[in-house]
Chains A and B, each alone.
Chain A
Amino acid sequence: MAVTTNQNLDGKQGAPRRRRLRTRELGYYLFLAPAFAFICFTMIYPVFSNLRMSVYGVNVATFLSNTAPFVGLSNYTKVLQDPTFQNAFMLSVLFTIGSLVFQFTIGFALAVLFNRSFPGNGLLRALMLLGWMLPTVVSGSIYRWMFDGDNGIINYLLQSVGLMDSARFWLIEPRTALIGTIVANIWVGIPFNMILLLPGRQSISHTLYEAASIDGATGWQSFRRITLPLMRPVALSVLLLGFIYTFKVFDIVYVMTCGGPVNATTVLPIYVYLLSFNFFRFGDGAAAAVLLLLPLSVVAIGYLWLSQREEAAS
């Protein structure tokens, strides 16, 4: 980088050069300024003001008067002891794992498929993206009616192939409601996984496979020994990004079930929403939001570390 090379310079010309450099450096920072300001105002400031709110007793009575007392960690203990929070946390973990496993596997399989050339490849790939581009409210509503107990197409299909005797109210039964929302979220997430995995697959050189087949490797062997290991870095990034996107999913679940029946699909983001914007328990809501942010931050830091390591390697 320019800075380091110039620091090695010394002698008579050093001083003016350094001054010119400073102005140039200033220029770099000026270019950074808009992005930096954007991040400060839209991310850092809200996160800190949320952190601050989470240790104050902010509620209906104290929200405007600014008289909320400092309550230390008591909002956190209150939230952590709330059975609805514990349930929501567990549901979020299940929702995330269930979504990721299938989104990723199916997305991976499709990436391998679309890596081959066949007629209609481009068109199909574009169509695949449709699910991802639809507003979540639309896909959520569609899935809500597909899972409907009276007129839903999923009951119809399962009954007509004989997998089920009687109609099921998927989103009404506590045990199947979460599965219904996971299925919808998988469908939404598959294109995202595929589109990110495909370039990874495309970057693996043909020659490796040719060499392997000359050595007598079967298709499965080349997949296990070439495709999988070489796609590991990109796959890991996709999984970490997928975790971040899935753990904070609010809209598709809310559209499909409003968090019901009872709390069977009240995942963490819905719980936070209810506390802050429905019950006006702002302090508790802020604490719950911080608790939601924690696992996300851990994964985000993991992702940054991973991508830096990859950059260094390449």
Chain B
Amino acid sequence: MRPAAPAAPEGEAAAPAEGGDAAPAAGAVTIAWWDYMAAANGAALDTQMANYMEANPSVAVERTYIPFADLKQKLLQGAAAGQLPDVVIIDNPDHSSFAALGVFADLTDLVQTWGQADSYFEGPWASTVYQGKNYGIPDNSNCLVLWYNKDLTEPAGVQPPANWDELVSASAALSDGDRYGLAMSGVKSEEGTFQWLPFLWMTGEDLPTLDSDGGRAALQLWTDLVNDGYMSPGILNWTQGDVKGQFENGLAAMMVNGPWQIPVLKDEAPDLNWDVVTLPVEKQGASILGGENTAIVGSTENLDAAWELLTWRQEPDNLKAYLLEAGKLPSKADMAQDEAWTSDPVLNVFVEQLKVAKPRNYGPNYPEISNAIQEMMQAAISGQKPVDAAVADAQAVITPLLPA
């Protein structure tokens, strides 16, 4: 590993979308902004920035696109070299790591004066908090739901499953020849953890009590689904994009996936007759919270201007326009009640599911914790370890890594 090698060629990193070409007025402030939003998401940000600069001629926002896979590395290198932007959009499970690194500014006082914290869903908001202090504002949210192919479930007389037993029996009934009943992602990356954790939470347990009946049951569920042939062993190498591919091609009748697949499926498979339903319930309903937060970098010289910009983005009209253009779900509880989301039957399922979506708020050691979960899943599902041993081993790794 050569630490100095740049994560991406400079030309690529600095590519698109300088906000506007209006010459900044006297006493102007330039806010440097990093994110990994491409396609519709990036365009929505550009629109928003252009609106902001029109309303605030003294501020110029310079957006830099950095591919998702490179953002963390770029932030680390930038932090070490003292070359960071003013504002960053970051994946919410990474937020606390970078807060712990000291990269983000402590916004506690500003947030208190602002007084809007209570209008957000608990999960997204909690992901911006580290050791009781505020380090950002949620940008958007997503969560996992169960997708099913109506052209396969209806002829088989299968109702969308409401609990684990029904999930297993539906998967069994829908498995046929080359086709599996269900597809989820168990790949050895954050995506695998992202897909499994909701099942742990459904049992009422959490990572501190992973080595429990609930933890074992959640892992056993996945292991059985694979061993009984209702889910492909291939899931251990499938990203969520691959899972979508299986579903799209009729090789899986149901899948667990997130709202970012809606525009993709509509575009790639307009004839696919699918619908969504909230994830099956065991002891309780649960899903996992995905999405991004905005944070201000601690080294900024434009704290006030950056804060102005972040809060402006959260004003109802501005936020709604942005989320709708980007095809994203709100992190604000009041906005989720807006007709724009509730009147759409598919989006409404996501908004409902969001109410029980939990963040991965396990402190700065989370990446290593997540790695232990991935190893546990892969060991049990590929048959290298019995479920109870896999769970016990994972607990032994995880417990010392959890925040005190």
**Which residues of A sit under 8 angstroms from B102, Cβ to Cβ?**
63-65
Contact A274 B101 (CB under 8 A): no
* Cβ-neighbour of A42 out of B4, B234, B365 (below 8 A): B4
Contact A60 B101 (CB under 8 A): yes
* Cβ-neighbour of B382 out of A43, A47, A173, A256 (below 8 A): A173
* Cβ-neighbour of A278 out of B187, B237, B371, B378 (below 8 A): B371
**A41, A46, A149, A261: which has the most chain B beta carbons within 10 Å?**
A261
- Interface 0/1 of B351-391, CB less than 8 Å to A: 00000000000001101100100110011001010000000
**Which residues of B sit under 8 angstroms from A50, Cβ to Cβ?**
1, 3
- Judge whether A244 is part of the interface by a CB distance below 8 angstroms: no
Contact A150 B382 (CB under 8 A): no
- Judge whether B73 is part of the interface by a CB distance below 8 angstroms: yes
Size band of the interface chain B makes with A: 35 or more
Contact B251 A150 (CB under 8 A): yes
Number of interface residues of A (CB under 8 A): 44
**Which residues of B sit under 8 angstroms from A285, Cβ to Cβ?**
1
- Judge whether B216 is part of the interface by a CB distance below 8 angstroms: no
Contact A280 B367 (CB under 8 A): yes
Closest to B100 in A: A60
- Judge whether B233 is part of the interface by a CB distance below 8 angstroms: yes
- Judge whether A49 is part of the interface by a CB distance below 8 angstroms: yes
Given the interface contacts A64-B101, A64-B103, A278-B371, does A172 sit within 8 Å of B1 by beta carbon? no
- Judge whether A201 is part of the interface by a CB distance below 8 angstroms: no
How far, in whole Å, are A185 and B383 apart by their CA atoms in the complex?
Answer: 27
Contact A63 B236 (CB under 8 A): no
- Judge whether A305 is part of the interface by a CB distance below 8 angstroms: no
**Which residues of B sit under 8 angstroms from A173, Cβ to Cβ?**
382
- Judge whether B76 is part of the interface by a CB distance below 8 angstroms: yes
Closest to A171 in B: B237
**Which residues of B sit under 8 angstroms from A263, Cβ to Cβ?**
375
Contact B233 A60 (CB under 8 A): no
Given the interface contacts A261-B378, A276-B1, A277-B73, does A172 sit within 8 Å of B233 by beta carbon? yes
Given the interface contacts A64-B101, A148-B234, does A260 sit within 8 Å of B79 by beta carbon? no
Given the interface contacts A174-B382, A292-B1, does A260 sit within 8 Å of B103 by beta carbon? no
Contact B79 A64 (CB under 8 A): yes
Given the interface contacts A43-B2, A150-B178, does A261 sit within 8 Å of B101 by beta carbon? no
**Which residues of A sit under 8 angstroms from B73, Cβ to Cβ?**
277
Contact A63 B384 (CB under 8 A): no
**Which residues of A sit under 8 angstroms from B79, Cβ to Cβ?**
63-64
The 4 A-B residue pairs with the shortest CB-CB distance, nearest first, are A260-B188, A46-B4, A258-B188, A261-B378
12 other A-B residue contacts (CB within 8 Å) besides A260-B237, A261-B188, A279-B371: A41-B4, A42-B4, A42-B5, A45-B4, A64-B103, A149-B232, A261-B379, A262-B379, A274-B371, A278-B371, A279-B368, A285-B1
Question: What would 28 A/B residue contacts be, using CB atoms closer than 8 Å?
Answer: A42-B2, A45-B4, A47-B2, A50-B1, A50-B3, A60-B364, A63-B80, A64-B79, A64-B103, A149-B232, A149-B233, A150-B232, A150-B251, A151-B251, A172-B233, A172-B234, A258-B237, A260-B187, A260-B378, A262-B375, A262-B382, A262-B384, A263-B375, A269-B1, A278-B368, A280-B364, A280-B367, A285-B1
